[in-house]
Every structure is written in C-alpha cells, then in structure tokens.
Amino acid sequence: MKRRHIMFAVRSPGGVGAMELAKVAQLAAGLDAGVDLFHCMFDRDIARPERVSSESLEEDIKELADRRRRRLEHTAERLRGQGVTVRASVRWDYPVYEGIVR
C-alpha cells in the first residue's frame, strides 16, 4: 500500500495540545500515514515597507523561521515518540491562509 501523508497545519509551533497530538497520532496509525506538521507564518513588523535592506529582511525571516522550526521539531518529537513518522516545515507566506493551501 502506498504511504499516505496527513498535513496538520499548526497556528503556533509550540502550542499544539496533547489531545490534538493524540488525535493526529490515532488518525495516522489508522491510515498507515505519516504526518506533515506545517506552520505558515507572516509578521508585519518584519515585513514593514520601510526596511532599508532586503538582505536584512531575508536574515530576519530566516532567523524567525529557524526559531519556529525548532519549536515545531519539539512538537514533532512528541509524535515520533508515539511511533508516527513526522516531517516538520515552516514557510513564510502572505496571506497565511493562502500559504497553507499553496
């Protein structure tokens, strides 16, 4: 059987509750599926138009994405501890709801 993936979009990388994770783990086990934890982010303070340099913008986005990815990996480890195959990714996009669809 072909391995399936369930995308689970999280609002806050470190704020996924135990009950939510238990439900995702149960669903993944029942479908023999892996889980893609996905966090789409955008921060108006970082993306303000008066930024002097696009390089500093890219650095700030990368730094924020790295911090959030580390938090999301902590959440992923909780699922892995339940035997679920998990990938975690963070993406900068606007609007966030469209970024989730993309």
Model confidence pLDDT, tens digit, residues 35-76: 999 999 998 888 776 666 677 888 889 999 999 999 999 999
Classify 14 as helix, strand or coil: coil
Model confidence at 2: pLDDT above 60: no
Four-way CATH pick for 4-101: 3.40.50.12370, 1.10.10.350, 3.40.640.10, 1.10.760.10: 3.40.50.12370
Output the pLDDT for position 45: 81
Q: Which amino acid is it at 57?
A: L
> How many C-alpha atoms does 77 have within 13 Å on its Cβ side?
7
In this prediction, residue 24 has a pLDDT band, given cuts at 50, 70 and 90, of: very high
Averaged pLDDT for residues 30-35: 93
What six digits make up the tokens of 12? 């806050």
Residue ranges per structural domain of the chain: 4-101
Query: 């986005």: which residue's tokens?
Result: 61
Q: What 8-state DSSP symbol labels residue 50?
A: T
- Predicted TM-score (pTM) of the model is 0.84
